[in-house]
Amino acid sequence: MEKRKLGKSDLEVSAIGLGCMGMSFAYGPPKDKQEMSMLLRAAVERGITFFDTAEVYGPFVNEELVGEALAPFRRQVVIATKFGFDLSPELDPRGMKGPPGLNSRPEHIRQAAENSLRRLGVETIDLLYQHRVDPDVPIEDVAGAVGELIREGKVKYFGLSEAGAQTIRRAHAIQPVTALQSEYSLWTRSPETEVIPTLEELGIGLVPYSPLGRGFLTGKIDENATFDRSDFRSSLPRFTPEALKANQALIALLGSIAERHQATFAQIALAWLLAQKPWIVPIPGTTRLQRLEENIGAAAVELAADDLREIDRLASGITVQGARYPEQLERMTGR
């Protein structure tokens, strides 16, 4: 698979990565560990070198899964993980009874990093993100704490997740930020206003999570879809029957382009992201080999300038219905 560098850094990864959250967390009951290990190894065999996890996924068990499965390929892959939440045994397995509290105090960052190193079974974390900006801790202190870990050789690169433009600038002034992870797709384009121009100016890569709209942009979800209580989409405003029905206009848009390229809806959605900037690396998640191979195939889909203009023209006439998160979680983004 084609490789890309995240911004102006020397961190090179596959053009499409793999988000591992759903293997252990948020999308229904945790999947079989042996099956997920096989899927992770199949991803490496097919050219994926960029894997995304976090301590909160499970919590904890996703890091263990990723670390164990990828141990034989340690020199071939880049593993990203995240800190920033206060986790306790009482945390709801779905993480949706109310988010755990934020904690990015420097001493907590160090403790979280040490624990992630142990669970991943590695000597160095390739890319360490702050999962959400903590309004009670100056971002300069966060960047400084990660900078210390980098100087000690425990972390290679520093990242932020769902941070606003000014926070990115402040952090980058203390410790260079290699990547920002934020939701970005054809139905979540808010980063285009301020964040993406800031990343381009500073030479920071963008790692879009949920690049397929949590499955919606595959064209497989309509207003009749139902979600188990263990699937966090059951709590998202954008996944109510009314919103799903209204947002089918985006699926029609993808369908017209997909037919032209003999590609799937998901492949067009991912190819559109790849065409936006050469330093964008989406991390679609899946628990199925068929979907993994479909997503990888998106890297070979080349959208022409006319395709991109048509997508933008059609998308400009569509107003996406429904907030992407409940209010309590939405307040934790864009800070």
Q: Which residues are catalytic?
A: 57
Rounded distance, CA 70 to CA 162, Å? 27
Beta carbons of 217 and 253 less than 8 angstroms apart: no
Kindly report the number of other CB atoms within 10 A of residue 195's CB atom: 21
Kindly report the number of other CB atoms within 10 A of residue 208's CB atom: 25
Q: Whose CA is closest to 22, among 230, 287, 263, 334?
A: 287
Rounded distance, CA 106 to CA 81, Å? 17
